[in-house]
Every structure is written in C-alpha cells, then in structure tokens.
Chain A
Amino acid sequence: MSERLTKSAARNIFYGGTLFFLAIFIALVVQSHLYILNVSSNNDRLTESIIRGKRLWEKNACIDCHTIMGEGAYFAPELSNVWDRFGGKDDPEGAREGLKGWFAAMPTGIEGRRQMPQFNLSDQDLDDLIDFLKWTSEIDDQNWPPTDAG
C-alpha cells in the first residue's frame, strides 16, 4: 500500500468516516420511523387485537417456517399477503372463515406434504391473529410481493 497513507491517517479516516455514515444512517432511520407511523402502516388503526395477534405470531414462532414481508424461513408460504390470497379484499368474512378452517384442518397428515402443527388457538386468538395478518397486508410496502403467490 502507498507510503503516502500513514497508519494514523488510515485510523483517522476510519473513525471519522464511520461517525459520518452512522450520523446519516441515524437521521434517515428517524425519518423512516416517522414515515412508518404517519404514512405507510396505518398506525392509527393498530388495535389491541392486532398487537395481541402479533404476540401470538411470535409465541408460536410462525416465522421459523413462514416468511412475512419476505423475512423468515423459506419452508412455508409468504403471509404478508395471505389475507389477499384468501380473497379478504372482496369478502372479508369469507376470508376470515377460510383462514379459521385452514387452522382447524392442521396438521393434514398427508404423506409427502409439509405439515403445519395444530396450535390449538381459541376463537379469540384466531380473530386476533387474522386481524394482525389483515393489518399487515395493508402496509404500503412498495407493492411487494410481485404476485399473489407471495
């Protein structure tokens, strides 16, 4: 490496540059935080039920099989748009019943097909979880995913 760059100069560039980029990053994250609250995520419609649903989503570690907004395991379908896939936009009641029926039918036990466990959720739990999935489907996420398949 060139003799013009001394070790102490390299060190100073490292510390100074890191602080510079960290400051920009923090400023943009603050702006994004406000954008999420005020623009993209319908935070004003974030009900207790949706938050309870999110906790159920976490308690049962759904993300270690499924993805949500593309993040998680890749063993089972994407769920940020499962509400749309079940026709929730046109027929919310039908989608809710359809999803509850899906949960009730698990595990299918079909040989050679991936199995979802039976989580024994109460009707209230199911409503909370479905409220969470419905709310998630309504986040403005730059039109991801590209198709209904998720």
Chain B
Amino acid sequence: MTYSSQRVALYYFGGALVLFFVQVLVGVLAGAVYVMPNLLSETVPFNVIRMIHTNALIVWLLMGFMGATYYLLPEETETELHSPRLAILQFWLFFVAALVAVVGYLFGIHEGREFLEQPIYIKVGIVVVSLMFLYNCTLTLLKGRKTAVANVLMLGLWFVAIFFLFSFYNPGNLSLDKMYWWWVVHLWVEGVWELIMASILAYLMIKLTGVDREVVEKWLYVIVGLSLFTGILGTGHHYYWIGTPGYWKWIGSVFSTMEVVPFFAMVIFTFYMVWKGGRKHPNKAALLWSLGCAVIAFFGGGVWGFMHTLAPVNYYTHGTQVTAAHGHLAFYGAYVMLNVAMMTYAMPGLLKREVYNQTLNMWGFWLTTGGMCFMTFTLTFAGVVQTHLQRVMGMNYMEVQDQIALFFWYRLGSGVAVLLGVTLIIYSLAIPGREGGRVSTPQGAPNPAE
C-alpha cells in the first residue's frame, strides 16, 4: 500500500465480509427448508429467505468490487483518490441501504422481480451511491495515469450503473418485462462484470507475478474483447422461451457456446503469467485464490453454462436444478473467488501487517471450494433426474421433488461445509495472526506484501 487514500477500501471489504457471512448463513437456511419444509414456513417463508440470500450476494460482490477499485485505483493512476471522505460517506449510505432492504424483506416490504426485489427508494439510493462512486473514481482516473487496467475497470463499472437503470422499466407485458430484465441480469454477470473480473485479475497478475505490464494489458484487452463479442449476443440464450422470435435459438446457442472461450483464456492467462513471471511473492494465498478464480469460473460459468445452453437441450433443462447448479458455481468461481483473491492480497497492507494467516486462509479456500463443487454435483444430479422425470416423462412437479430429496440432503451438507469454510476465510482475513501478525515467509525472511 503506497497511497493513504487506499485505506477507504477497508470499509468496503469489512462491509462485504459481513454481508458474505449473512448470505451464506441464509443460504444454509434455505437449503434446510428444502429438506425440512415446515421450518419457519409461517414466519419467514422461503421466498423471503431466498431474496435475502441472492440480494446479500449481489450487494456484497458490488461492495467488494468498489473496495477493490478504491484500493487499486491510486496505485494504477499514481495519485490519491479524489475524495476519501466521499468514499467513506458512500460506503455508509450503501451499507445502511442494504441493511434497510434486508430488514424490510423480513417485514414483507419488497418488489417482486427476481434479484430486483429492492423497493423503489432503495433502487434510487443505489443509483445515488453509484453516482458518488463513479464521480469519485472517474475524477481520480482523469487526473492520474490512465492504464488499461484502470480504463477497463472503470468502463465496466460505468456500464454496471447504466444497465441497472433498466431495473426501473417494468412494463405490464410479461414478455417485454423479461426481455429488458435480462439487460440488467445477463449484461451484468455475463457482460460487464467480466470486464471488472478481468481487470482485477490483470492487476493481481502484475502485482503477484511481476510480469511486464505491457504483456498483461494486451491479454486484458483480448480477454474482455472475447467476453463482450460473445456475451452481448449470448444474451440470446435467455430469449428462447419468453415470447421472443425463434431466431434467438440460433443466435443464443452459437454465441453463448463461445462464451466459454474468454473463461478458458483467463485460465491460460493466469497460469501462463505465473509460469512466465517466476516471482516468489510471499502472499501465496492471494495467488491460490487468483488461479482458483480463473479455474472455477471456467468450470462454473463456462462448462456448466455450456452444458444446458444449446436451445434443444435447454428446452428440457430450463428452470430446473441444472440451472441452480450452474448459478451457484458460476457466481462462486467468477465473482466470490475474485473478491476473496483481492481481499487476501490487499488486507495485509490495509492492516499494516506482513502477510498473515496464510495457512488458515488456504484451508478456507479448499473447504469452501470443495463444498461448492460438491453442491454443484449434487444439484446437477438432481437436475438431470428432474429433467427426465418432469420434462420427458411428464411427472407432476411435487412428486419429482420427492424423488430427488436425497440430493437436497447432500446439498445441505455441502452448504454447511461452505459455511465453515467461509468462517475460516473471514477469520483469516479480518483477524491478524499470532506474533502480532508478523508471520514470516517460509524462507524466514520478512518480505513486503507488494
């Protein structure tokens, strides 16, 4: 950490970790309701549990992206943030809005489009928060050095805000509603969020491997190019069965199949940079998370996405547990692991410590990643059986759910493993290690974190 204004990232990482824990805890609760359906059914129905689970996820990921931006932007632009005080004010507004939304959900105060359940005043609040954030970061970028990492990151963040504006358009025609709803949901996670992901990974590669910036940034442009060339028209794989024209079956199938390519490129990129760089950075946990992020994003987003993206396959699998399996591993690999990678890298500097709790952090990595993979396998099996019984044989929905109950027990078990893993991760990030946090590198020589 070279610039004092980078410290505002600590607020965002702290807030993100709190919501991360809430998200996973409530996720385990939702998994428990699947196998014990009378649990809380009169007080907190499943739909409320589920919206807290998904909304907490989205908010903490965004909060993490903002923290990452505030952390890396001064280093990239070689200048202090425009206004650290505005950044802190913006954090509290965002965090309080998130808490108000969650408490409101418990009392039945929500709108009812999936992932966009926030009441209108919370949505307006999110726009205000975004404007404060973009104003602060854009002015920082304008007065400093303009690297490809900073430019691509800011481009991604601007379009996150722009596409969010479609959440205010809710026509009475359900087909139209769905078509533009995907402008927020798909163009975020399979579009501009990938810009954020690739640029943060590029930053971490520069720092952790020591490979020349010119090389890393050329890769960055190629990867984000592949992401958007495939991802924009890849939106078509959501336009098969909602009343849109039949040609989307071709466009969606072809382009969303190619969405695997940028994810594969990120795997090649990260491993090649590590191999080529050869720098022994002491923060091994941050490197593990960065490589893990690229690999699991490739499997969760790329492979599990491709598995059910072709229209003739999707006709049968659409809206089954196959979708749930893909959703869980894709979000975990691409965005959860990215945020944890960045936090693992940045926290020692922010807390003014040498790298610490590396072993604990890596145990958290394996336990959480193992749990998420197992959860994905069980949901995939559940989805395959469900697809056959319900979509081919035509068996009644609830009877099918009884047939796949065993998989939901396994899913609950893997959820508990994830909760334990996440607890380890949060502890290892937030609580400095023994000996005053001065855990030295294996060679015994204290190494700077950067």
Contact = CB atoms under 8 A, between A and B. Distances in A.
A141 B242 contact: yes
B249 interface: yes
Nearest to A31: B245
Contacts of A150: 390, 397
A18 B319 contact: no
B394 A18 contact: no
B383 to A, nearest CB: 9
Contact of A63 (B38, B113, B397): B113
Contact of B215 (A1, A11, A43, A63): A1
A64 B34 CA distance: 14
B396 A36 contact: no
Interface in B309-352: 315-316, 318-321, 323-324
A72 interface: yes
A32 B179 contact: yes
B41 interface: yes
Given A148-B394, A149-B390, A107 B218 contact: no
A112 interface: yes
Nearest to B242: A69
Contacts of B249: 142
Interface stretch (A51-59, A87-95, A96-104): A51-59
Interface residues of A, number: 72
Interface string B123-161: 000000000000000000000000010000000000000
A7 B148 contact: yes
B46 A65 contact: yes
Q: What size tier do the contact residues of chain B reach? A: 35 or more
B50 A65 contact: yes
Contacts, number: 210
A60 B112 contact: yes
Contact of B176 (A14, A33, A144, A145): A33
Interface in B40-77: 41-42, 45-48, 50-51
Contacts of A31: 245
Contacts of A149: 390-391, 394-397, 400
A10 B217 CA distance: 9
A113 B179 contact: no
Interface in B76-126: 110-114, 117
A105 interface: no
Contacts of B178: 69, 71
Contacts of B148: 7, 11
A141 B243 contact: yes
Contacts of A21: 228-229, 232-233
B217 A35 contact: no
Contacts of B175: 36, 40-41, 139
A144 B318 contact: yes
Contact of A115 (B41, B241, B246, B401): B41
Interface of A: 1, 5-7, 10-11, 13-14, 17-18, 21-22, 24-25, 28-29, 31-33, 35-37, 40-41, 43, 46, 50-51, 54, 57-65, 67-78, 107, 109, 111-115, 117, 132, 135-136, 139-142, 144-150
Interface of B: 34, 37-38, 41-42, 45-48, 50-51, 110-114, 117, 148, 170, 172-179, 214-215, 217-219, 221-222, 224-225, 228-229, 232-233, 235, 239-249, 251, 315-316, 318-321, 323-324, 390-398, 400-401
8 contacts: A14-B222, A60-B112, A65-B50, A112-B38, A113-B398, A146-B316, A147-B393, A150-B397
Pick the 4 closest A-B CB pairs, nearest first. A58-B112, A70-B319, A64-B47, A144-B241
Given A115-B37, A146-B391, 9 more contacts: A25-B232, A28-B248, A57-B112, A61-B51, A69-B178, A70-B241, A70-B319, A141-B243, A142-B241
